[in-house]
Amino acid sequence: MGIQTQITATCDLKGCTSGQNGPGVISWISELVESGKTPMPELAQYLVILIHNNVKKTFCCQLHAAEYFLPPGYEAKQKQVIEVPKKVDVPETTLPWLARKPVVESESWMDEPLRHEQPDGYSESPDNGQEGV
């Protein structure tokens, strides 16, 4: 057969009791899992491995990893459902001075050519009054 690498991970949380007689232990043979001959253990999908202060820490689940870093007296909660308050329909009120007047679109202005009023002393010649220059 050949050399096989057995990987074993033990939960580092002192109070872990997810194992039969103590902390949770997850074990598998790397070559068999990589070749597809045996499936990865289901608990391995929850495995958390961290390096904290140059020390490798292994936890059997995210909850135990969170509890390890909490100060004494605090508790981590898993799958807590928080009710989101329902939106209350409030009638929309607009102050009279902020209310927008309805815009009436008219296409009659498109029919008329654009005319610019010229101030006194200016002519409407194409060369803008620069005659004889």
Q: pLDDT (tens digit, 9 = 90+) per residue, 8-18?
A: 888 888 888 77
For the chain, percent of residues with pLDDT exceeding 70: 71
Q: What mean pLDDT, rounded, does the chain reach? A: 76
Do the domain assignments include residue 90? no
Answer yes or no: is 113 within a domain: no
Residue 120 domain flag: no
96 in any annotated domain: no
For residue 109, being part of any structural domain is answered with no
Q: Which pTM does this prediction carry?
A: 0.49
Q: Which residues contact 67 (CB under 8 A, 6 or more apart)?
A: 13, 15, 75, 76
Q: Is residue 99 part of a domain?
A: no
Domain boundaries, position 48: 6-69
User: Cα separation of 27 and 47, whole Å?
Assistant: 11
What is the model's pLDDT at position 100? 73
Number of domains making up the chain? 1
Neighbours of 32 (CB within 10 A): 15
